[in-house]
A = this chain, B = another copy of it.
Amino acid sequence: MSGEGEFGYIRRRLAPLASGYTGAFNLTDDAAVLAVPVGCELVVTSDTLIEGVHFLPGDPPETVAVKALRVSLSDLAAMGAEPHAAMLSISWPRDGSTDLRDRFTDGLAEELSVRAVPLIGGDTTVTPGPWTITGTLFGSLPAGSAVRRAGARAGDHVYVTGTIGDAGLGLLSLQGEAGLGAAVERYRIPPVRTALASHLRGRANAMIDISDGLAADAGHLSTVSQVALDVTLADLPLSGTARDWVARQDDPDIARARLAGYGDDYELLFCAPADCHHAIQRAARETGIPITRIGQVKKGEGVRLLDGSGAPVQIDSAGFTHF
């Protein structure tokens, strides 16, 4: 990394992002002191993004910064937590330009400002490998109110926020598939569902954010909750781009199952008792974040993606198929 050194960069560009958080000591110290809001507890999550793995070399540095924060904000929202503070460990590529660093930092500053999240620490290094960023995000919530992956009960409704499969279609577009350009933004910039956290605490019995894909993450929730999840493919919320894409495929339910297999949605999937349905609809209206009921929790184990006849669509070696 050319230009000013590590310390100059931290002092000039990062330290201002710590202002207002007493325990961050303007990023001049060995560690930060965490302030826990009265009556609250802190939650913490960490995610690593690697160029060429979790984002593409052509992605704008500004959106890489936003993604680095949002993948963890999504984890916090899935616990029912509001963001509290961020740490960032950045390994700059050895041949990276100051333009890369400046544009990344611009995106970082903008997103931290919009979310009112102070930067309280981290590390900067230079790597001979690809650009690598580990974000560690702290969230706060009323003590004892964390929503877990465990806790779903037979009879609960299964809900999902936003739309499913767009990030995967965006990646396909960047890899050359036609007609999917509108989805690129969703691959680069995950949505933020933080506004729902306070509405879902005390209502959702279990929640997870969708990073590995709806089917896989529903599977994680079902395993930890020790229940089965039935998801009706026709009920998956789809963007216009995704609906058009489904219409171009041979079999709409197999196509929807593929969308449920794509990663990087960063939507919330949660299970809540049926008597919370009106409160959940109200939360969607108040936050402007769409919430769609897509299935039902049952006794048993595993996830079933159901086609129009109520039969499960499954994955075999050739991909998804009707069983």
Contacts and interface: CB of A to CB of B under 8 A. Distances in A.
Interface string A117-130: 00011110111111
A224 B27 CA distance: 11
Contacts of A123: 46-48, 134
A308 to B, nearest CB: 32
Contacts of A220: 28
A209 B127 contact: no
A114 interface: no
Interface in A190-208: 207-208
Interface string A44-58: 111110101110000
Contacts of A33: 41-43, 79, 146
A132 B208 CA distance: 27
Given A31-B79, A78-B30, A132 B127 contact: yes
A134 B148 CA distance: 25
Contacts of A32: 43-45
B132 A46 contact: no
Given A29-B148, A33-B41, A128-B53, A87 B209 contact: no
Contacts of A28: 149-150, 220, 224
B132 A75 contact: no
A69 interface: no
A43 B85 CA distance: 13
B31 A139 contact: yes
A76 interface: yes
A112 B148 CA distance: 26
A122 B48 CA distance: 9
A91 B122 CA distance: 17
A44 B87 contact: yes
A41 to B, nearest CB: 6
A132 B150 CA distance: 31
A94 to B, nearest CB: 10
Interface of A: 23, 25, 28-36, 41-48, 50, 52-54, 75-76, 78-79, 81, 87, 89, 91, 120-123, 125-130, 132, 134, 136, 139, 146, 148-150, 207-209, 220, 224
What 4 A-B pairs have minimum CB-CB distances, sorted nearest first? A129-B129, A31-B45, A30-B75, A134-B134
Given A31-B139, A44-B136, A87-B136, 13 more contacts: A28-B149, A28-B150, A30-B208, A31-B45, A31-B79, A44-B87, A45-B121, A46-B121, A50-B91, A50-B127, A50-B128, A53-B128, A127-B130
